[in-house]
A and B are shown apart, each in its own frame.
Chain A
Amino acid sequence: MAEPAAQARPRKVPLIRRMLTARGRSLEITKAGWLFIVLTLAVGFAAINSGANLLHVLFGCQIGLILASGVLSENMVQRARVQRRATSALHAGSRGALAIELRNHSPDGDMISVSVEDDDREQVDDHCDPVFAVAVTGGAATTLHTTVILQRRGLQPLPKAVVATRFPFGLFVKRMDLPTDERVLVYPRIYPIDPDVLPFARTGEGEALGARSRAGEFHGLAEFRDGEELRRIHWPATARLGRPVVQEYEARGEAELVLELAHGRTGDEPFERAVERVASEALALLRAGRVAIGLRYAGELAIEPGIGSGHERQLLEFLALVGDPVAVPALSPEVQR
């Protein structure tokens, strides 16, 4: 893990809810539920006291509604199978897209009124907006889209979540813990920077003044990397070499820039600020499209200068994991020291 997950602070949970928690499931009585229970007890008392038959019927009906609530809500959470995955780049402190696949495990019964929401027993800075499914038929699945905010960069677990239901009447909340092994890569926090105000933006600095570009004079062939445009593939060379290669051209007039990042450790505040600054500058310059950006970490060239979305992602992935010796096996030993 590049950076330890946000420290979870336990939130005070009412005693009754704590008592009604076991084996990853919990039961909470809502205000309406308490009111209903009080009414049921009052009717029960009146029924026993008076021997009035109609009150016995009403008392039985109310008990039946409570029992049905318990059984149905248990069924709903038991049927739920949840998978979460990020569907966009996640930057620390910013909203990212998250897809939640909610599958009804039961082949027959419907799954009604189920939500996936953060576990409210822990107070964390990470947050995922809740999603809600009205009904999922037996054996079917539905994909719900929401947003997530994670505060720290690195390979982070998604916020602890629960499958919750208040079905059928909102009198009780039944929750089931979800497994916490889903991790996503969180890029460093980005803040807006105007590339024109950066002093090196036009002049450039660094080793390679002849930067590669999408247009201009032919520079050479390079291996195809994820994210590069398919139209840049040089098909004859690809066929000859048996692996995809792309043509590169020499940019005219644009500079190359290698950004510097001093050595540091994940979690150190100055290092984190430096990572955020480098990431913000790199993205601002790359998106302006006039400078090829590279990265030197701890005095060594970690990322060669380049442009394009694939290069941008490579930079961000490095910056997401940099400073964490466990999570950066790809980095050279010198860089990791």
Chain B
Amino acid sequence: MSVLARLARAGAGGRLTRLRDWLSVLQVGLAIAAVALAGSASPWALVLTIALASWAMLRPLPEQLSPFAARLWTAVVLLALVASGARSLVFGGDLLVAGVDFLLLMIIQRLFNRQRSREHMQLLMLGAVLMVIAAVVDVELYFPVLMTVFLPTATLALLINHLLGEGERLGKRVQYEVDRYATRELPRLGRASLQVAAIAAFTGLVTFLIFPRFGPGVFLRGSYSEDSVGFSEQVQLGGFGTIKTDARVIMRLTALDLPDDVEPDQRRLTWHLRGSAFDRYTEGRWTHSKGAQPGLIRQTRGYWLLADPVGVDQPGLPVGEVFKPPHWSPRSMVARGMPRPPTLPSAPKLRPEQTLVARAIPGFAESDRTVRMLVTMEDIGTDLLFSAGRPLAFALAPRGPLDSRKSLSIDVDEQIRVLDRLGGPLQSEFVGRVGEPTQAELATLGDPPVPPDLGAYLQLEVDRSPELAELAKRVTQGAETRVAKVVAIRDFLLDEYEYSLDQPLSDRVRSGELDPVEGFLFDTKAGHCEYFATAMAVLLREVGVPTRNVNGFYGAHYNPIGEFWAVRQADAHSWVEVQFGEFGWVTFDPTPPDGRTAGDDAPWFPRLAQAFDALRDAYLEYVIDFDLGSQLAILEKLGVQREGRKFQVDWKQLGPWLAGVAGLGLILIAVRRFARRRSKAEPAEVVIYRKLIAALTKRGRPKREPESVRAWAQRLASEGAREAEPLIGFARRYDALRFSAESPTPAELDELRQLAAAVLATPKGKDSSS
């Protein structure tokens, strides 16, 4: 029995009505799942919907809605409408979530009153609206999966609902016939709906590929999640969760230009991906002060290029020189008619993929060692961009005209922010200096005096414990240079303290006697990266070293399937940067190495997780980020070139494609004809008969060559075989159908199949009564 037939038998009422109920619930359920997974419905509304929908499906459905119930439902819906309006407009709730919650209520109302086809049609429309909402806010892989199931389900639901609607329209007699005949024709109806769904999917695909993307982009794409995923712009000691166990990938790095010593498929990268930085520490919290160092950034050939932060009133020197436009420029910008940034004619000898040459810093050998990466970053509730090492330049990959209007700004402490950040994943490019000065190079600076504009980086809490200063002095005793102090404190923390995610708090911290970092240093001596970084910063400031706290991610894991490096939520990390004069800010990480990063793989089914990450990356790249540039690129490959507003066709290039499509079409037509001829060559009743012969032959009841089906049945009867009696029934029906003037109807064939099944359902062996 097919799935559809089983569904038609489950529950009360007419069989087709039952099937329609199940299909309506299924399609609405899929649509609700889509909006729920996109985070566009309140959890309480979802729970309520599931509970009430279950009740609506399980309770006996009254034949007609009573006037009292109708009035009650109207009142409930009106009340919910007012409440939803107030929730979003007065109480500042999310309009989208309030709207979706209201639609969920409408679904419940329709499920409770689903007597006629009209209500089912409304359920289908509500399901479609929810899928549209999910398409707007959802960029995850589960949307296409849900859509793949939703489309044929909704199509079949529409078809069945249409048939029952015809019954309602044409009267009881037709209603009865529809239920009787349509239930028999379920396989045929199932095939028809699959065909229609295939047509719809095909047109959807064609529209996706060829419909030009030229919208001004009033609607937003993707959801803007308020949830932090490990990384946070706020640092509060003790507030750090157990994110180290979360393997969700939130950033994908694709190499554009790697340093010579990094392999393109290196299993693990060990760079610090810098995001936010803080200068002020008070009561266990890192924030920004007014004295934090401002930054400078300017647009150059498609890049936003940073300049050295040398002072508020002084223009800083650019950190390098851009010679080529960023990676995405030819596709996205030029496709929209934007001028392509020119390549600098006086470019020095660059690596093929190198676009920027970092300004050389005297005495710093690796100052020009840079990396260029394409970053696809999930919506993690921040407008910050991340860069490996010292950030030098950034570029955004606009997905539409509105996206292209986005610009970058630099916040204090070299934090790069996206202005007018839209929801959903963001693609950007960075060039970072991953070369670091050696200790010997840093030592050449000695222990320089701290300029006044860096005073904020020496700030300490007023009521700090005197033990803190004593500890800092003790640890750095004998250190002559700044780097010696830094290394001494870093090594002290590495050696003497233990990495822990348990966030132990000492009694003195609980009572308020000590600051959390003091509790870490003197009492618990165990903590996670934020404790280590804060402790190092505070201790360095105690000995006069300008330091700041930095948050971001540490390292990345190579995904060989998707050929990118994945940064997971568990890689969120905290460290410090120390100021070294003209060398700038230098990264130091006091956290023990085993605490800096989670394992390279997801804890469960790592290979599967890699495949999923790769698939999701491909989905984002080829589906979500498919744009006019991609369309034009496809056209170019086909031989259609765009020149201004005109298109020029290269028939030599396009011809083979057209011939290929025509050939494929001809092959499909030929295959279809062949299949039809083949199916016509042997009538359906003969196919059933042949299958029965084969099955009975396996059971040791073969048909002899000249025997007719009747003779076969009679012989088996004379042999006392149990199969004989049902076979006689089959033979009678088979002969009637096979030699009838008209071809058998599907119902007759179904009956013949059942007779054949009855033959095979008999127990093997001889009839004991014979």
Contacts and interface: CB of A to CB of B under 8 A. Distances in A.
B204 interface: yes
A131 B174 contact: yes
Given A64-B204, A166-B166, A112 B161 contact: no
Interface string B615-626: 000000001111
Given A50-B219, A68-B200, A166-B162, A108 B676 contact: yes
A136 to B, nearest CB: 8
Contact of B138 (A54, A132, A137): A54
Contacts of B138: 54
Interface stretch (A12-20, A32-40, A86-94, A216-224): A32-40
Contacts of B676: 108
B547 interface: no
Interface range, A side:
35 or more
A267 B399 CA distance: 78
A204 to B, nearest CB: 45
B637 to A, nearest CB: 19
Contacts of B196: 65, 68, 72, 168
B170 A115 contact: yes
B182 interface: yes
Interface string B197-230: 0011111111110010111111111000000000
A137 B745 contact: yes
B171 A135 contact: no
Contacts of A233: none
B132 interface: yes
Contact of B121 (A32, A47, A113, A135): A32
B151 interface: yes
A137 B192 CA distance: 13
A48 B214 contact: yes
A331 interface: no
Interface range, B side:
35 or more
A54 B189 contact: no
Given A130-B170, A134-B177, A170-B165, A54 B211 contact: no
A57 B207 contact: yes
Nearest to B158: A169
Given A50-B221, A131-B174, A169-B158, A60 B204 contact: yes
Contact of A110 (B128, B181, B192, B214): B192
A64 B202 contact: yes
A52 B221 contact: yes
B655 to A, nearest CB: 27
A59 interface: yes
A53 interface: yes
Contacts of A52: 135-136, 219, 221
B200 A115 contact: no
Nearest to A117: B170
Contacts of A110: 188, 192
Contacts of A132: 166-167, 170, 174, 177-178
A235 B185 CA distance: 52
A183 B215 CA distance: 61
Contact of B185 (A39, A43, A135): A135
Contact of A113 (B166, B214, B742): B166
B400 interface: yes
A198 interface: no
A104 B725 CA distance: 37
B113 interface: no
A259 interface: no
Contacts of B208: 53, 56-57, 60
Contacts of A141: 742
A148 B460 CA distance: 99
A134 B182 contact: yes
Interface string B344-375: 00000000000000000000000000000000
Interface string A155-170: 0000000000011111
Contacts of A113: 162-163, 166
Nearest to A64: B203
A235 to B, nearest CB: 34
B170 A50 contact: no
B349 to A, nearest CB: 40
B545 to A, nearest CB: 50
B132 A58 contact: yes
21 contacts: A32-B125, A39-B129, A48-B215, A51-B217, A52-B135, A52-B221, A54-B138, A56-B213, A57-B205, A58-B204, A59-B204, A60-B200, A60-B207, A61-B203, A65-B199, A67-B199, A112-B185, A117-B170, A130-B174, A134-B181, A168-B192
Interface of A: 32, 35-36, 39, 43, 46-65, 67-68, 72, 108, 110, 112-113, 115, 117, 129-135, 137, 139-142, 166-170
Interface of B: 117, 121, 125, 128-129, 131-132, 135-136, 138-139, 143, 147, 151, 155, 158-159, 161-163, 165-167, 170-171, 173-174, 177-178, 181-182, 185, 188-189, 192-193, 196, 199-208, 211, 213-221, 399-401, 623-628, 676, 742-743, 745-746
Given A51-B213, A170-B162, 15 more contacts: A39-B128, A46-B219, A49-B216, A57-B208, A58-B204, A65-B155, A65-B200, A68-B196, A72-B196, A115-B166, A131-B174, A134-B163, A135-B185, A139-B743, A169-B155
